[in-house]
Amino acid sequence: RMILSMKMSELEKMTAGKLYDAGDPSLSKIRDKAHSLAFRYNQLDELHKEERAEILKELLPNLGKDSSLTGPIYFDYGFNFHTGDRFYCNFNFVCLDVCEIDIGDDVFCGPNVSINTPLHPLLAEERNQYLSEHGMTDKEYGKKIVIGSNCWIASNVTICAGSHIGDNCVIGAGSVVVGDIPEGYLAYGVPAKPIRKIAKEDSVYLKKDLF
């Protein structure tokens, strides 16, 4: 009786969060295409709406409805980036999506936001490049990132591998998110920490100096 091989491809290892060979030709092909599509997107200004929309369909097949990406944008693969509807990112959005990035509805990202799923070994002898059957490469793995609905990720925020941000959160400018932020919290710092619950008293309509 024939026994079927259960060996995982490098793509399957990558998306499952296992150690994988980033130099694998099949991965390089997908990555090169994503980089090329992002480059083309970044060369077009916002008057070229239809061309930009067509590029996003190919680069980000799991982008929600009525979403807007100002650009420039940078993605490693694109297909691992999942959003709900009305996602928005400002200038210079970086997304290293070797593992899945799962984002809810109505999430806003300020300028220079980075969402990074890759991880590398801490030991130098394990992290340094080595010669594989495909040439020089390195050991890499990743962890999924989750961002809930109705979140505002302010400017210059970095979200690290394995982080989980609950619904209705605000992440303050310049923060580095490592780990979990509970639902409904204002969080900031390096590393970002939940500071306090966001309350009705935070309503913009109670700020009399704005009217």
- Which residues carry out catalysis? 120
In whole angstroms, what is the distance from residue 41 CA to residue 166 CA? 30
User: How many C-beta atoms lie closer than 10 Å to residue 146's C-beta?
Assistant: 17
User: How many C-beta atoms lie closer than 10 Å to residue 142's C-beta?
Assistant: 27
Amino acid at 181: I
90, 160, 129, 16 alpha-carbon torsion, rounded to 10°:
-100
In whole angstroms, what is the distance from residue 181 CA to residue 177 CA? 8
